[in-house]
Amino acid sequence: MTTADLPVSAPPGTGAVGRPLLEVRGLRVRYRSGGRPFEAVAGLDLTLHQGETLGLVGESGCGKSSVARAVARLEPDVSGAIVFDGQDVARTGGRALKAYRRRVGMVFQDPIASLNPRRTVRDIIATPLELAGGHDSTAIAARVGELADLVGLHPSLLDRHPHEMSGGQCQRVSIARALACVPDLLLCDEVVSALDVSIQAQVVNLLMDIREQQRLAMLFISHDLAVVRQLSDRVAVMYLGTLCEDAPVDELFARPAHPYTRALLASVPGNPTPDTALLTGDLPSPLTPPSGCRFRTRCPLARDTCAEIPPTPKQIRPDHHVACHFPIDATP
């Protein structure tokens, strides 16, 4: 088998975002803490189109990483539908699950801890191709070289181990590994949060280039709203396992309608979000979430209805949805 038999980078895409690639419906992810069950994700709906980048934001502990791990089929206690390219993969197993995982790559938050310390960079990048099967050593070696070049890794680094490299270099290795089988969807879980600011910019630019070259769909999870704004086409805002608001990126930053979204944006230096107070109080425990709207205990607009009835997402403008009983009219 030759290099031509391996998956190769797709040509740069043109045109608008395509049809839905990923549809998450009623997603619930459960864990146990001290013997007590709780839901980290409590009935979430998301849609991600081909070639689109969806930014998923919210405070630490809101369930963002659990969403990514559930989509990657890394969490055992999950319910709801995960429809990928028209097929519900939430309970897929065997060969079908293996095929699905070839189409979904994931880059984790800690660039060093996510890599096997006993293996070289060359072996780490080659692992997905070896697991996929059907490729000889010559073709795999050629593909590893192509991926290293794609993510900006010098060939001299391929025989090093993760502990011999910087955090930024390790994250490039993680990205190369995630792209090995040319996935349709890339899950990026806080991929720049552990990096220095200058390295963050390099990794974000790399992801932008790869997205354009390969027309990847990307779920980009971050608490850094400035990075999300730079990279995303749409943004979804999570709070304590639920979805508050989702909209095209420019629409969300210009006209946020949920009080939580406005509070998040008010915390971004230089972002002109009017008459919105910064968040007060702490995120409630998912072990004992508030009744009704989970944000009501920190919301300046909360009323009796908010404690009694959980809000459901409703469209307030084209492609702009908000789960709030009393959304803010942010129209200029």
Q: What is the DSSP string of 269-283?
A: TT---TT-PPP-S-P
My answer on whether 113 and 34 are in the same domain is yes
Q: Would you state the pLDDT for residue 5? A: 39
My answer on whether 120 and 252 are in the same domain is no
Q: Which of these three, 184, 200, 232, is where a domain ends? A: 232
Per the domain annotation, does 329 fall within a domain?
no
Of 186-200, 259-273, 316-330, minimum mean pLDDT range: 259-273
Per the domain annotation, does 318 fall within a domain?
yes
My answer on whether 205 and 253 are in the same domain is no
Per the domain annotation, does 73 fall within a domain?
yes
My answer on whether 220 and 274 are in the same domain is no
Looking at the whole model, is its pTM more than 0.85? Answer: yes
pLDDT band at 18 (very low <50, low <70, confident <90, very high): low
Q: Would you state the pLDDT for residue 26? A: 97
**Domain hosting residue 252, numbered range:** 236-322
pLDDT band at 136 (very low <50, low <70, confident <90, very high): confident
Per the domain annotation, does 189 fall within a domain?
yes
Q: Which of these three, 182, 215, 232, is where a domain ends? A: 232
Q: Would you state the pLDDT for residue 199? A: 87
Say yes or no to pLDDT of 7 above 60.
no
Say yes or no to pLDDT of 9 above 80.
no
My answer on whether 244 and 214 are in the same domain is no
Domain count, the chain: 2
pLDDT band at 173 (very low <50, low <70, confident <90, very high): very high
Q: Would you state the pLDDT for residue 35? A: 86
Rg value, the chain, Cα: 21
My answer on whether 242 and 111 are in the same domain is no
320-322 sheet: strands from edge to edge: 104-107, 185-189, 217-221, 53-57, 234-239, 242-248, 320-322, 314-317
Please report which residue ranges of 73-163 form alpha helices under DSSP H.
94-102, 121-132, 137-150
CATH number, residue 95: 3.40.50.300
Per the domain annotation, does 31 fall within a domain?
yes
My answer on whether 178 and 31 are in the same domain is yes
Q: Would you state the pLDDT for residue 132? A: 83
Query: Residue type at 99?
Result: A
My answer on whether 222 and 101 are in the same domain is yes
My answer on whether 19 and 164 are in the same domain is yes
Q: Which of 244, 247, 249 lies closest to 261 in space, CA to CA?
A: 244
Q: Would you state the pLDDT for residue 1? A: 34
Say yes or no to pLDDT of 288 above 60.
yes
Per the domain annotation, does 184 fall within a domain?
yes
Q: Which residue has the higher pLDDT, 244 or 11?
A: 244
Per the domain annotation, does 330 fall within a domain?
no
Mean pLDDT of the chain: 89
My answer on whether 72 and 202 are in the same domain is yes
Contact assessment for residue 45 and residue 26, using Cβ atoms and an 8 Å cutoff: yes
189-203, 221-235, 276-290: range with highest mean pLDDT: 221-235
Say yes or no to pLDDT of 53 above 50.
yes
Say yes or no to pLDDT of 16 above 90.
no
My answer on whether 8 and 33 are in the same domain is yes
Taking CA atoms, 285 is separated from 33, 241, 262, in Å, by 11, 11, 22
My answer on whether 144 and 256 are in the same domain is no
Helix (H) or strand (E) holding 238: strand 234-239
How far apart, in whole angstroms, are the C-alpha atoms of residue 275 and residue 85? 42
Q: Which residue has the higher pLDDT, 332 or 227?
A: 227
Query: Residue type at 281?
Result: G
Per the domain annotation, does 328 fall within a domain?
no
How far apart, in whole angstroms, are the C-alpha atoms of residue 187 and residue 203? 14
Of 129-133, 257-261, 274-278, minimum mean pLDDT range: 274-278
Residue 304: burial class (beta carbons within 10 Å; 0-12, 13-18, 19+): exposed
Q: Which residue has the higher pLDDT, 232 or 132?
A: 232
Q: Which of these three, 193, 211, 232, is where a domain ends? A: 232
- In the numeric block, the tokens 């974000």 are attached to 204
Q: Which residue has the higher pLDDT, 215 or 159?
A: 159
Q: Would you state the pLDDT for residue 330? A: 52
